[in-house]
Amino acid sequence: MWLTCLVSLVIVVALILLSRYGLKVLDPYLSRRRRTRNLAVVESLAIDPRRRVSLIRCGRKTGLILTGGGNDVFLGWIEDDGGRPPHAVSSAQIDPGD
């Protein structure tokens, strides 16, 4: 009786280890379809508890999307100026419009 239980346990453990090895071997073939090389979220910022604005990169283009709330909105593509950071506006340059 105990011999049958021990043999069954050894068989189950062996099958678990073999399935783990099999998944490691098959993983490159299975993940090939899921891999997205051209689309990535660069940065994301929460505006409020429901809405979030995200900077995405699709190939060589960068876009801005607003998600959450009632619907999701694509705000547009951001112009690439050769990798330079955008020009910051100082508070002295802002006209209050009195």
pLDDT in tens, 4-44: 999 999 999 999 988 888 888 877 777 666 666 788 889 99
- Mean pLDDT across 68-86: 76
What's residue 15's pLDDT? 93
Beta bridge partner(s), residue 74: 65
Quote the number of domains for the chain: 2
What's residue 59's pLDDT? 84
Percent of the chain's residues with pLDDT above 90:
38
Instruction: Give the strand pairing for 39-46 and 52-58.
Output: antiparallel
Q: Are residues 30 and 40 in the same domain?
A: no
Q: Are residues 14 and 29 in the same domain?
A: yes
Fill in the DSSP letter of residue 21: H
What range defines the domain where residue 11 resides? 1-35
What's residue 34's pLDDT? 61
Instruction: List the 61-67 sheet strands across, edge first.
Output: 39-46, 52-58, 61-67, 73-78
Residue 93 included in any domain:
no
